[in-house]
Chains A and B, each alone.
Chain A
Amino acid sequence: MGKVAIVGAGLTRFSASRYDASQEEMVAEAMRQAAENMGMTWNDLRNEVDMGVGAYCSDFFNQQLKFGATIHDYLGLCPKSNIRVEAVGATGAQAIRTGYAFIAASTLYDVIAVLSWEKMSEVSYEQSLDFLGRNLDLDFEYYPVGVTLPTVHGMMAQLHMKKFGTSREQIAKIAVKNRKNALNNPFVDFGKKMAVKDILISKPLFSPLRELDFAPASDGAAVLIMTSEDKAKKFTDTPIWISGTGCGTDNFIYRRTADDIPILASTRVAAEQAYKMAGISNPMKELDCAEVYDMSTIYEIMAYESLGFCGKGEGGKLIEDGATENGGELPVNVAGGCFGAGTALAAIGVKQAVEMFWQLRGEADKRLKSGAQVQDAEKGLINAESGYGVKSVVHILEK
């Protein structure tokens, strides 16, 4: 199987509401940046592109149908090939994986543009809880009981604390870390210096989690240019290779048990596949940095465990020990993650790759801010998730 590299990347500003730009304008903004950073005109770059992977999660939030292909019209990418992917918060990660498959596992295409975006801001918070509720089984969880996505996170936190003795303070530290790290990211709005007690006195939402335990909704777009080993050096001297990719799925909550619910089984499967491909046996030692899906505080703690950064139930201890802080043994979400950028569904999975691309090329201090650069970073992990782990995707990126 051939190797696949990321050779270009672009981001827009992520914001609680990008009322200044339509969805297609956001994607154009990101792509313009990517072309500029690659030292190419868009005209030259789009001639090289064989296929677009259109990644936006929700026809509910975004309204335009078949947007994954119609975005080609706005960008001037017709008549190139196209596929649209959807996987809630894992959409962007799935887009990367799909691009990988078209380049590496087949000989169909050489150069792929990953185009991701989401606009969550055009509906009210209560309406967004309705859309997110459709992540649950409609007939038995959502319509009759009103279980929605953050409800599940509350239950996960409840069980994690009971089963493993994780404390409320340890859980809150994730938000403190990521909001502080977001101050190093000029593309995001939610950077703020906070204390554990700020999280603990915020409005209760789904016990034991409170308002500041959840990343806010947001709008944003991110793009990548991916290509084969043959073509990579044509675009850049420093391609970043995708050395591992993995994906797993998990059941609805009612088919899990109290033992399963605080563990991300699908993440474990995805990580095992990616680690095997990349030849990683000790992630904590072999990875230099990681971007995980911090839709809520507890989710990052569970991700540590399922990605093998620590043992089962030890996620709270890992954050408390400072191992995942900037400057720690394995910095996680160094540029703020979802707490910093908001959860612009499809765009987050690609934003993780854009920031990791910059990180591994030693450009994070230039493209982001100096505090975001992990010294001598050569190998990183990115992981994004559908809701409560119904689908999980992991990639290993390396120089």
Chain B
Amino acid sequence: MTKISRTDPLTITKDYRITYQSTLGEVSRFFLDLANEGKIMGTRCEKCGKTYIPPFPDCPECLGKTSWVEMPKNGVIEAFTICYTQPRHFKRKLPYTVAYVRLEGANTLLPGIVDGDPSKVEQGSKVELKIRVPERGTRWGVYEADYYFELIER
């Protein structure tokens, strides 16, 4: 449906809706095991000795095929910011904290929401990864399960 607003020059409002059916490739395993097994799966390249989470089905160092490994659910916050606004389509309660967490044994960082009081979050805060069914409007794509981080009290 189009709508005409300003007339000099002419401004037209139009909505354009796209439906994608995207394949997640081998990385699908991450989302399936998250929902069906309650596990966080990373990948490991034995040749390079690196563990990737988010998972890399192809090792970015040697391009060898990596193997799936279950990750421990505890980690440390390496970077974070408190968000007071969010992109269109996301309907989380504001403000909320986004953090990049180094899970134990990982060579990469895993991004996620940190539940709870944003003022308690610090670089170096210890967190535990938890899994839940997401609220509508808090993520796109896989809706059966979502992970988030909870601060571990000292």
Residues of A within 8 A of B (CB): 19-20, 124, 126-127, 129-130, 132-133, 137, 139-148, 151, 154-155, 158-159, 162, 203-207, 209, 253-258, 261
Contact = CB atoms under 8 A, between A and B. Distances in A.
Contact of A254 (B81, B110, B113, B140): B110
Contacts of A204: 82, 84, 95
B141 A151 contact: no
Contacts of A209: 81
A151 B79 contact: no
B89 interface: yes
Contacts of B109: 253-257
Contacts, number: 111
A141 B90 CA distance: 13
Contacts of B82: 154, 204, 206-207
Contacts of A253: 79, 100, 109, 111
A132 B87 CA distance: 9
Contacts of A254: 54, 100, 108-111
Interface of B is mostly: loop
Nearest to B56: A255
A148 B81 contact: no
B123 A258 contact: yes
Nearest to A209: B81
A139 B141 contact: yes
A158 B54 contact: no
Contacts of A207: 81-82, 84, 118
30 contacts: A19-B6, A19-B9, A129-B85, A129-B86, A132-B87, A137-B54, A139-B27, A139-B54, A140-B110, A141-B111, A143-B141, A144-B112, A144-B139, A144-B142, A146-B87, A151-B83, A151-B98, A155-B98, A155-B100, A158-B79, A162-B123, A205-B83, A206-B83, A207-B118, A253-B111, A254-B54, A254-B100, A254-B108, A256-B109, A261-B79
B24 interface: yes
Given A19-B9, A151-B98, A254-B100, A127 B88 contact: yes
Contacts of A154: 81-83
A380 to B, nearest CB: 33
B141 A145 contact: no
Interface of B: 6, 9, 11, 24, 27, 54, 60, 78-90, 92, 95, 98, 100, 108-113, 118, 123, 138-142, 146
Contacts of B24: 139
Among B78, B110, B111, B123, max chain A CB count under 10 A is at B111
A384 B27 CA distance: 33
B80 A143 contact: no
A273 to B, nearest CB: 23
B84 A205 contact: yes
Nearest to A251: B60
Contact of B80 (A124, A158, A203, A256): A158
Contact of B81 (A124, A132, A155, A256): A155
